[in-house]
Structure 1
């Protein structure tokens, strides 16, 4: 028996360590961008901003930090399943899933550095750039919500995630600036939640209520008209109100275009096959990378052809002294 065991040990197939080459060295810069949504220099710069993500192990060669980042960028950019992404660099589905969740969480932690609402000199620059679009004064951002589809969650709150189009989603509220950067995000609300409620409960709304920002947001008629949030007239009564509506719509279309840019570049946002809490983390990571790409000057060529989405909202106005300020803006700038 001892001799048999010794013979079996000698005939054991040696472990095969897989060759994990560097795609950045094998592909052209354009091919890297097409697969990972960033050029090589930006990927290396992003890697330097993350904490050490090396994962030493005695069982096999560790996955280099660069490949862990590339696996995550491939998932966020394409939304492909973990098994397909793992096959691409010869790792298992479970290993790919661990890399994606771990690195995406670290990217999401960079959000405070890239998702910032304009203040000071930057706020004045944003208002100037918005005013050049259609002449609307003192605009700091355009606000709206978009639905990110998720798998049906388990638990008693499952019905809360069913939106008005009858699929499960998160209702993600964002604010954009004139360069399509996202300056504020609330991404942990179930799909059945109304846009106006998300805004009322947001930290940004509380900041405006406390007077932290001297400017305006533009929203659609699903929001309550408030002194710091301008909405369109449902039935404009004269040319001044019609000119106001035109200027507001021409300016507010930027948030619709921003949603299109974001979902085109990070196609995982078309369907997140995971729990709501993990989906929130992926959304925040994608938005962080969206802003990072704009800062690096790297955008998709197809972003010029985004189709505007028209929100289906309740047109009935709500109360509030925002109507007095709206009337003042009409008299001062659009008469």
Structure 2
């Protein structure tokens, strides 16, 4: 941090600083901020320690600048009809972002990303439940003691019962804060210039998570 303080002082004194040097400082700062982002297990334990009982989980696509070539096809999301990177995120009951996953190709399914990060196991270890949309159906197959609640969906051969419709409405109300949490993150204009480098995107999103929470807590 002392090095960064000295660099800021040099800039304030009017010393000449090249564009490449500024970019390097920017990248170093992003790396430092990203390192402060909480790990999944620690984020969940913190929620439980505060007396929380559930978290909200969702997957989102961050649109990226399209690149040519076959290698970029996996970044195309058929659901959103655009190129991007897929992230999982958790918020607390009030919509405050508490964790964000590493970047995945845009076509990645929510359950695939959740299984890779062992989200279900971490929830059980912390003694927490999670409210999720239908994209997470099948992730938690424990009928007797489910941790993840996803609601009900109608099929070709059956319609939802009035009770199931009521349950879906209650779930939708309970999940509303997650959109508020994502809104804080997506308001950063720098995301409009994001490219499809997963490692770089992961660091940037986690750095923005740290800054977002600093802003919210002011």
Moved more, 231-240 or 176-185: 231-240
Which of the numbers 33, 43, 46 marks the counterpart of 1:107? 33
Structure 1 residues 180 and 114 mapped into 2: Cα distance closer, same or farther (>3 Å)? Answer: farther
Please list, as runs of the form range in 1=range in 2, the aligned pairs for 1:26-37 lying within 5 A after superposition.
Answer: none
**Structure 1 residue 270 displacement after superposition:** 3.1
| Number of the residue aligned with 2:172 | 249
| Number of the residue aligned with 1:262 | 185
Which of the numbers 130, 141, 151 marks the counterpart of 2:65? 151
| Number of the residue aligned with 2:133 | 220
Structure 1's unaligned 5+ residue stretches are: 1-50, 56-61, 69-88, 128-139, 298-335
Q: Quick one: distance in 2 between partners of 1:244 and 1:67? A: 57
Q: Quick one: distance in 2 between partners of 1:291 and 1:94? A: 29
1:233 equivalent to 2:183? Answer no
Please list, as runs of the form range in 1=range in 2, the aligned pairs for 1:1-335 lying within 5 A after superposition.
Answer: 51-54=1-4, 63-64=7-8, 91-112=17-38, 116-119=42-45, 122-123=48-49, 125-127=51-53, 140-152=54-66, 157-164=71-78, 165-208=80-123, 211-225=124-138, 226=140, 227-235=146-154, 237-264=160-187, 266-273=188-195, 275-294=197-216, 296-297=217-218
**Structure 1 residue 251 displacement after superposition:** 0.8
Contact 1:221–1:231 under 8 Å retained in 2: yes
Aligned residues: 205
User: 1:294-315: per-residue Cα shift (whole Å, max 9, x none)?
Assistant: 2x33xxxxxxxxxxxxxxxxxx
Q: Quick one: distance in 2 between partners of 1:102 and 1:282? A: 11
- Point out the structure with max Rg over C-alpha: 1
Structure 2's unaligned 5+ residue stretches are: 141-145
Please, what TM-score do these two structures have when normalized by structure 2? 0.79
C-alpha RMSD of matched pairs (Å): 3.1
Q: Quick one: distance in 2 between partners of 1:120 and 1:206? A: 16
Q: Quick one: distance in 2 between partners of 1:90 and 1:179? A: 46
The higher-RCO structure (CA 8 Å, 6+ apart) is 2
Contact 1:171–1:192 under 8 Å retained in 2: yes
Structure 1 residues 160 and 120 mapped into 2: Cα distance closer, same or farther (>3 Å)? Answer: closer
Name the structure where strand makes up a greater proportion of residues.
Answer: 2
